[in-house]
Amino acid sequence: MMARTPFDLAAHVQASQNGPCFICELVAGNPDYAHHLIAQDDDSIVFLSKYPTLPGYALVCPKRHVEDLADDITPTHYLALQAVVHRLSRALKAVYDAERIYVLSLGSQQGNSHLHWHVVPLPHGVPYEHQQYHALMAEHGVLRFSDAEMKEAAATIAAAYATILD
pLDDT of 134 over the 70 cut: yes
Q: What type of residue is 65? A: H
Q: What is the pTM of this model?
A: 0.95
Q: How far apart are CA 83 and CA 151, in angstroms?
A: 24
Count of domains for the chain = 1
Q: What is the pLDDT of residues 94-116, one digit of tens each?
A: 999 999 999 999 888 898 999 99
Residue 25: give its domain's CATH number. 3.30.428.10
In a domain, 100, yes or no: yes
Query: Does residue 3 form part of some domain?
Result: no
Judge contact between 66 and 116, C-beta under 8 A.
Answer: no
Give the 3-state DSSP-derived string for the chain, with helices as H, strands as E and coil as C: CCCCECCCHHHHHHHHHHCCCHHHHHHHCCHHHCCCEEEECCCEEEEECCCCCCCCCEEEEECCCCCCHHHHCCHHHHHHHHHHHHHHHHHHHHHHCCCEEEEEECCECCECCCCCEEEEEECCCCCHHHCCHHHHCHHHCECCCCHHHHHHHHHHHHHHHHHCCC
- Is the residue at 2 inside a domain? no
Position 48 in a domain: yes
Average pLDDT of the chain, as a whole number: 95
Domain that holds residue 159: 9-163
Q: What is the pLDDT of residue 1?
A: 66
Of 11-20, 58-67, 77-86, the poorest mean pLDDT is in 11-20
User: Does residue 49 form part of some domain?
Assistant: yes
**Average pLDDT, integer, range 1-30:** 93
Residue 57 lies in a domain: yes
- Does the pLDDT at position 26 exceed 70? yes
Domain assignment present for residue 34? The answer is yes
**Residue 79 CA to its chain's centroid (Å):** 18
Summarize the confidence of residues 70-87 as an average pLDDT: 96
Contact 80, 44 (CB under 8 A): yes
Does residue 4 sit within a domain? no
